[in-house]
Amino acid sequence: MTTEHVIRLKPKTKPQAIRHGFPWVFADEVVTDRRTRAIPPGSFAVLEDPERRPLALVTVNPNSRIFARVMDADPQAQIDAAWLEARLTRALRLRERLYDQPFYRLVHAEADGLPGVIIDRFGDHAVIQPNAAWSDEMAPLIAETLRAVTGVGTVILNGQGRTRGLEGLSERTEVLAGTAPEAPIRVPMNGATYLADLMGGQKTGLFYDQRPNHAFAQRLATGRVLDVFSHVGGFGLAMLAAGAEHATFVDGSAPALSLVQQGAQAMDLDPDRTQMIQQDAFAALETLAAEERRFDVVICDPPAFAPAKPALEAGLRAYERIARLAAPLVAPGGYLGLCSCSHAADLTSFRNASARGIGRGGRRAQLIHTGQAGPDHPMLPQLAETGYLKALFFRLDG
């Protein structure tokens, strides 16, 4: 696909960041006029420095705060099936080296050279989240190329979520190729079995990013476990697979807890080893405290309380509150895992909020492990947002 558009950085905007790999150009960094504002979202353009020297080929969305995303360092690059095939093949080779089975995040947006594109693979199925205008428009070609590169039979477009709204994209879910699965897909990870609802679940149906943190939690698995904001049971089922005696799952979603139960059944777990609590997580923590329940391991993996900077302070207060309510539920010498997937909350801020909450909960703690997303969620070093996941594991005293 060729481009006839050209955009230029403002005179005081330094081009070094783009030359050194930063992938975004913000709206206040671009010379805008009637012509540039009229470029259709998802179009490709040559980005020039203030002296009109070509810098890169970008995709443009005048409706977004991220006005342009770098597609290729070569301004003459052609974004077509061959270009997509090269990017997808590169991504696939990394995952095939990392994992024995085809269950992983195949494409992690800018970090894999496909701006705004998320692709999760579930065996013979793949789910695409096209979170940038160019990928939404080219989704059929991405699906076709994906099938050619990976051999998957079914490709689903999941067009849900906050990011699409920021890009001015409507919500939609559809099957781009193959046939929609009639039941949730079984996903093996860390010796556990999870059920992923590819058509109606959160995000793509499963969160692969926590895989290494589930594995660390398995090393702590003993006695009774509390998995709060459990979704499909990521931490709890992993710890049951590793020998925990019992797991209590807390989530506000009945469909999510149904998937937990189906996962437990797929693992042939004794039903007496699990308990499901459908309730607001904050309220559930308060109820469990009133009942004087205690657990050997407590894990809290909430949604993003601070998805963007305007929500940062409120988000940090929410993380502190979670830690304050969870800490008293941990048995003496037990473990507390606290997670954040908030882009706006960096590791230091999240760690400080968690420590304050534990202290306010009347406990003292050792921080024993800090986790992040797995290697199928690579970071682009120039873009801090790609390193969004943080997992803190504490040992609490008596």
Residues tagged active-site = 341
Tell me how far CA of residue 388 lies from CA of 8, 53, 312, 343, 383, in angstroms.
Answer: 30, 34, 14, 5, 10
Side-chain half-sphere of 347: how many Cα atoms within 13 Å?
13
Task: Say which residue the tokens 């879910």 belong to.
Answer: 173
**Residue from 388, 391, 339 nearest 369 by CA:** 391
Residues in the chain: 398
Residue 120 corresponds to which tokens in the numbers above?
Answer: 């999760």
Residue pair 79/57 in contact (Cβ under 8 Å)? The answer is yes
Specify the long-range contacts of residues 141-146, CB closer than 8 Å, at least 24 apart. Answer: 141/81, 141/84, 142/84, 142/117, 143/176, 143/177, 144/81, 144/177, 145/81, 145/84, 145/85, 145/88, 146/88, 146/119
**Residue from 243, 340, 334, 322 nearest 297 by CA:** 334
How far apart are the C-alpha atoms of 30 and 50, rounded to whole Å?
A: 9
How far apart are the C-alpha atoms of 309 and 307, rounded to whole Å?
A: 7
Q: How are the residues of the chain apportioned to helix, strand and coil, as percentages rounded to the nearest 5?
A: 35, 30, 35
How far apart are the C-alpha atoms of 277 and 248, rounded to whole Å?
A: 7
How far apart are the C-alpha atoms of 153 and 347, rounded to whole Å?
A: 39
